[in-house]
Every structure is written in structure tokens, then in C-alpha cells.
Amino acid sequence: MSPEEKCGVLHGKYELGRLLGHGSFAKVYHAMHLQTGKSVAMKVVGKEKVIQVGMMEQIKREISIMKMVKHPNIVNLHEVMASKTKIYFAMDLIKGGELFSKVAKGRLKEDAARKYFQQLISAIDFCHSRGVYHRDLKPENVLLDEEGNLKVTDFGLSAFSDHLRQDGLLHTTCGTPAYVAPEVIGNKGYDGAKADIWSCGVILYVLLAGFLPFQDDNIMAMYNKIHRGDFKCPPWFSSETRRLITKMLDPNPNSRISISKIMESVWFKKPVSRKLNEKKPKELPEEESGKETESLNAFHIISLSQGFDLSPLFEEKLKMEKEEMRFATTKPASSVISKLEEVAKTGKFSIKKSDSCIRLKGQESGRKGKLGIAADIFAITPSFLVVEVKKSSGDTLEYNQFCSKELRPALKDILWTSPTGNSPPA
């Protein structure tokens, strides 16, 4: 134990508490951030042990990946610190335990399994969109918070898309045998996204059945079953469940279902009792076409800004992935709409508009369908407007790329500059 751990205070920032668990290379402690009083999980890795077994590159990769994948259903890495002998990961403290412990008590009802599966697929889809493949998905690496929301953890075996060889495939055999895709065991190279989909299929099966699809006391016999896709669905599985799991546990990765098709499946799309998706902006009704620009009161203004200063015209949200932005202008609403129409034409969008709002819909499908953008115009005074732009459909990354490359440059000449001389970020 390092001197800092002995005295219980780490880097003057965190007070270390009880040991929560340990593995071959790391111990996890409860810790409290002294300034905020917030509890975190502190993962402590011994440098010497990691160097001895040649895992330093893996640790660096895990840090890089966890900084990239900020998502509601992924355990968040707050910061990484180091002493002469230890590396410290300050992460979300997830108090609900492993998903595995729920299954250990018996199979889940279909609605509960669907809720967890929807969150799992949302997290893995996000990882894949950033070129990250988990490669060790299993119920033990899926945690639940106090509200019962799923959190994916343990990116120690993850890979970046830049780890692909010239054939476009990964070649490192890893993962947990019962959850590993046949092509990974085969060691002939594999698509990381397809391998993760297989593991998600095994997890869904386990949630609904209460046992594994591929079981055998002899590991080689189990591998043979995995290679053949030799499993049976229990009689309580619905026909829709059987259809989806069979497509996910297809031993041929080329014909295995994709994440986008999973999300389009009848079983996946069924609503659950606790709706997890954010509310989408309402479609623009036909009768709104003559509506006047909406005025804002003081409470609206406060909700639009982190303070009373509206000078940061494009408000930066605290999270990395932004689904909305705002800007101010002294130009009339008609000028704003004209500018947005110009952008829509160059970006191949269809347009629906009124005097105070405009809706853009992409004509070509992206990673999550057609990109939809909603812009609403609010009058703070007759000559001072705030415009709120939101993603209404499609992929967040594609939306952010469109905003930075197309929308922001096109709007530069109508943006308001504060009297202090602050100008909006480019």
C-alpha cells in the first residue's frame, strides 16, 4: 500500500474508504471527492505488476477508450492519477451490483429483459460509432445503478478500429468462452462489431432463459456447439424473441444481424413500462404556419443559459455529445429562416417552416436513419432573438458534424456579438 493510501487521502483530492473488490491486477475502493463530497469507485492498479506481465499498453488503451465513450449506459471515467508505484482510476460508483446477480436469482420477465437489452445495445452501438469494440461483454461486466439503469464496464480488452489489420479484421483472441463469437475462437480474424453482437445475443438469451445457450463440461465440446450455432430456445420464448436471438447467434458473421437491424426488430421496438428515450421535438402542425414568434419571460431566459450572460452564443453543454445548440441574433426571424433554408438546400434537406420555427429532414439515410433538425426562434425583445437548434432524429455524431461543418459557418454573419466584444466560437 502506498503512503497516500495508508493516510487515506489520495493526491489531496480523494479520501479512500473500504475495499469494494479486487482482481489479478487491480483493487477497487470506495472513495469520496473531498471538494464535492461525491462518492466514486477508485480502481488502483500496481505499475510494477502491470509492467511485469506486459500490460501497460492495455492499461493506456483502456484509459483512452474510457475517455472516448461518454454515454448514459457506460461507466464514466472521471480522471486518472498516478504515483511512483500506482495508477488510480476515479470512476462512477455503481451501487446496484452486477446484472449477473439478478440472473442468478432466476430468469427475468420479458419486459425487464427488454429494458436492459435496449440500454445495452444503445451503449454498444455508441461504442461502435466511435470505432471501439468491447470484446468481453458478459453479465459480470454489466452493472446496474440504484435506479436500475444498465452500465457497461471493463474496457480492458477493448480494441480501437485502428487495431485492425490490412484485411480490416481484428486478430486477438480474447473474451470469456461462453460469450465469445465462433470467429474469435477460430483465430482467423473477425469484425469487432459482429463479435460484440454475438455476445449481446448470449446475454439476451441468459436474461430470458436463466442459463447459457452453449453449455458443456468439456470446453472443446462447448466450442464445437458455438461454431455450429447449436442451441435451443426454451418453450417460453416468444416467436419474436426466437427470431431475434437466432439472428444474433448466427455462427456466420457475414449473415449475422447488424445493430441497426436489431433496433428495427419488432421485439426490440416494443415499449417498456419505463421509457428511456428522450422526448423528441413535436412535429410541426400544419395550423402553426401563421404563428407569431414566441416571446420569453425571465424564467425561460434563465433556463436557456447557465447564467444571465448570453454572450456564449453557441452554448457548450457539459457532456461531450451535444444534441442542441443556441445562438442569439438581432436580425429578424425571416433572415434566420432564410439562412437555414440556404443550409438545407446545400445539405439536401427537405424543409417545413412557419414564422417561428423550421424543420429540416435529410433526404439520405445516415447511421441511424435520416437526420432531422428542429430550429425554434424565441423573441427576448422585438429586436433580439434566441434560436434553439436541436436534433430531432438520426445520429448525434452526424448532427454535430453537420453543425460544425455546415451550420455554424453559414450563420456567422447573423450572430450577435456582445457589447464586451465577445464573439461566438467558430
Binding annotation: 47
The C-alpha atoms of residue 312 and residue 388 are separated, in whole angstroms, by: 13
Give the phi and the psi of residue 109 in degrees, each rounded to 5. -70, 155
Strands 86-92 and 39-46: antiparallel
> Residue 136 is placed in which grid cell?
468481453
For residues 380-412, one letter each, b for 16 or more C-beta atoms within 10 angstroms of the residue's C-beta and e for the rest, the string is beeeebbbbbbbbbbbbebbbebbeeebbeebe
The grid coordinates listed for 382 are 422585438
Catalytic residue among 92, 125, 136, 376: 136
Q: Which helix (H) or strand (E) holds 62?
A: helix 56-68
Annotated binding site for ATP: 47
CB 315 within 8 A of CB 306: yes
* Strand (E) or helix (H) holding 193: helix 192-209
173: closest CA among 190, 151, 156?
190
Question: 334 near 341, Cβ under 8 Å?
Answer: no
Pick from 385, 387, 388, 408: which is nearest to 332 by CA?
385
The pairing of strands 324-329 and 150-152 is unpaired
CA 383/CA 368 separation, integer angstroms: 38
Burial of residue 14, with CB atoms counted within 10 A of its CB: 0-12 exposed, 13-18 middle, 19 or more buried: buried
Q: Clarify whether 136 is annotated catalytic.
A: yes
For Cα atoms 256, 257, 259, give the angle at the middle one, nearest 5 degrees. 135
Catalytic residues: 136
